Chain A
Amino acid sequence: MKRNAILPIVFLVSALFGGELPAYVAKFDPQLAIGLYLEKISMEGEDTSSYYSLARLYDRTGQIALAEDCYQHLLYLGTDAERVYREYLGFLYRNRFYSRVRDMIHEYDIDTDWGRILLAESYFHDALFDSALAVAAGLPEAYGGRLMQFSLEGISVPQRSPVLGGVMSAVVPGSGKIYAGRWMDGVQAFSMIAAPAYNAWYHFTKNGTKSVRGWIWAGVATWFYLSDIYGSVKAVREYNYAQKLKIIEKYEP
């Protein structure tokens, strides 16, 4: 590709400062620093330290896919595999890709202490408390003790049945939401279903089953009734997740 005269100056300037310039710029303008690192790689060739810094900057600016490309390329380069695994897994963990953390640990058969801690914590953050307990049991007391204690708490957290919530809402509109811990939502749902149902009954008794408005109000009441069943199932699931989240948030140091 044809280059212009500006680039040698940039390269010279960067080279004069021993490659510290992109790291300095990163403190202020991460996007410009990314450009400088890319320029450094294209001028000087493959440089693993630049790729590490580039990946960290992409993570900082939220360009997750490009950060992942950098880590994949570092894996391909194959130098210092353990450092790549640690940084890549740390990146996935920080961005909450817990299932990918577990997949990668199993794929690369990472059997170090830090690998097992990360595996246990990724199970824990995905609320898979029994698996977290199993992995934490194999860790030294100093690392795994607290995790085991919170996993046990997580396993014994009371859970409610979403199916029961749906059935309750089918029998008495709004009761499923009360079962999910939202009594105001339940009362509101009951009144929002009862009102159009009453209107439908009013029009049908006044004008018989030919009444168009009766059918419209009946349709609205049916729509709200079915939505309430759907919403109750969703609300009970959210209740269950909220109970688990309380344990997860208590664990966060």
Chain B
Amino acid sequence: MSITGKYLKVLSLFLTLSMGTAQQDADVLRTHYFDGANYQRKFSNPKMTTTLEKGGKGSFVSKIFMEAIYVYKDIISPQDLNVCSFHPSCSEYAFLCLKHQSFPEALLNAGDRLLRCYEANAEYYSRDSLYRLSLDYPDTTR
């Protein structure tokens, strides 16, 4: 057998032995299952479908409204039914508009979103595969 062949056999034996002492099933599951994103999502607010990161270059008034929307999403929205036919929901859309656009434009954009939010709007938008809702993100490039 060539030198390379012997080397490979030794490596295979080493790997097999190391596999034998590798983590067992319960240990693997204990280490990796509880930190998964899918699992953690079960404990978080189901109405918060988009991460609402505070920040942005908005004015003071925009920041107040963003805080108000955040408090609404945290405390009041869970008490309401899942009535929004869009993803992200209308309050999350308003939050994103306030973050990325000027205050007057965000106000008008959010109002326009409320006017468009009804059950039968599916034909005007593409469908989100996860939530089965109409996809409509605001323009955040400016």
Q: Do A and B share a direct contact in the complex (Cβ within 8 angstroms)?
A: yes
Contact B121 A184 (CB under 8 A): yes
Q: Which A residues between 188 and 237 are near B, CB-CB below 8 angstroms? A: 188-189, 192-193, 223-224, 226-228, 230-231, 234
- Which of B29-37, B48-56, B109-117 contacts the other chain? B109-117
In the assembled complex, the Cα of A31 lies from the Cα of B131 at a distance in Å of: 31
B120 lies within 8 A of chain A by Cβ: yes
List the B side residues contacting A188 at CB < 8 Å: 115-116, 118
Contact A234 B112 (CB under 8 A): yes
In the assembled complex, the Cα of A19 lies from the Cα of B115 at a distance in Å of: 60
Do A230 and B121 contact each other (CB < 8 Å), given the known contacts A188-B115, A188-B116, A192-B115? no
Contact A185 B111 (CB under 8 A): no
> Which listed residue (B111, B120, B123) contacts A227, Cβ 8 A?
B111
In the assembled complex, the Cα of A203 lies from the Cα of B107 at a distance in Å of: 25
B60 lies within 8 A of chain A by Cβ: no
List the B side residues contacting A227 at CB < 8 Å: 107-112, 114-115
A182 lies within 8 A of chain B by Cβ: yes
List the B side residues contacting A228 at CB < 8 Å: 111-112, 115
In the assembled complex, the Cα of A53 lies from the Cα of B112 at a distance in Å of: 47
Q: Mark B96-137, 1 if CB is under 8 A from A, else 0.
A: 000000000101111110111010110110000000000000
Nearest opposing residue in chain B for A226, CB measure: B108
Contact A184 B120 (CB under 8 A): yes
CB A86 to nearest CB in B, in angstroms, measures: 28
Nearest opposing residue in chain A for B115, CB measure: A189
Contact B108 A185 (CB under 8 A): no
CB B52 to nearest CB in A, in angstroms, measures: 22
List the A side residues contacting B110 at CB < 8 Å: 227
Nearest opposing residue in chain A for B139, CB measure: A234
Contact B124 A224 (CB under 8 A): no
Nearest opposing residue in chain B for A230, CB measure: B108
CB A186 to nearest CB in B, in angstroms, measures: 10
Nearest opposing residue in chain A for B105, CB measure: A230
In the assembled complex, the Cα of A223 lies from the Cα of B113 at a distance in Å of: 12
CB B138 to nearest CB in A, in angstroms, measures: 11
List the A side residues contacting B109 at CB < 8 Å: 227, 230
Contact B114 A185 (CB under 8 A): no
CB A184 to nearest CB in B, in angstroms, measures: 6
In the assembled complex, the Cα of A223 lies from the Cα of B120 at a distance in Å of: 23
List the B side residues contacting A185 at CB < 8 Å: 115-116, 121, 124
CB A12 to nearest CB in B, in angstroms, measures: 14
Q: Which B residues between 13 and 38 are near A, CB-CB below 8 angstroms? A: none
A-B contact pairs, 26 of them (CB 8 A): A182-B124, A184-B118, A184-B123, A185-B115, A185-B121, A188-B115, A189-B115, A192-B114, A193-B115, A223-B107, A224-B115, A226-B108, A226-B111, A227-B107, A227-B109, A227-B112, A227-B114, A227-B115, A228-B111, A230-B105, A230-B109, A231-B108, A231-B112, A231-B115, A231-B116, A234-B112
Chain A residues with a Cβ under 8 A of chain B: 182, 184-185, 188-189, 192-193, 223-224, 226-228, 230-231, 234
Chain B residues with a Cβ under 8 A of chain A: 105, 107-112, 114-116, 118, 120-121, 123-124
Additional A-B contact list (9), CB under 8 Å, known A224-B115, A230-B109: A184-B120, A184-B121, A185-B121, A192-B115, A224-B111, A227-B110, A230-B108, A231-B112, A231-B116
Minimum-distance CB pairs A-B, first 7: A227-B111, A231-B112, A230-B108, A227-B112, A189-B115, A227-B108, A188-B118
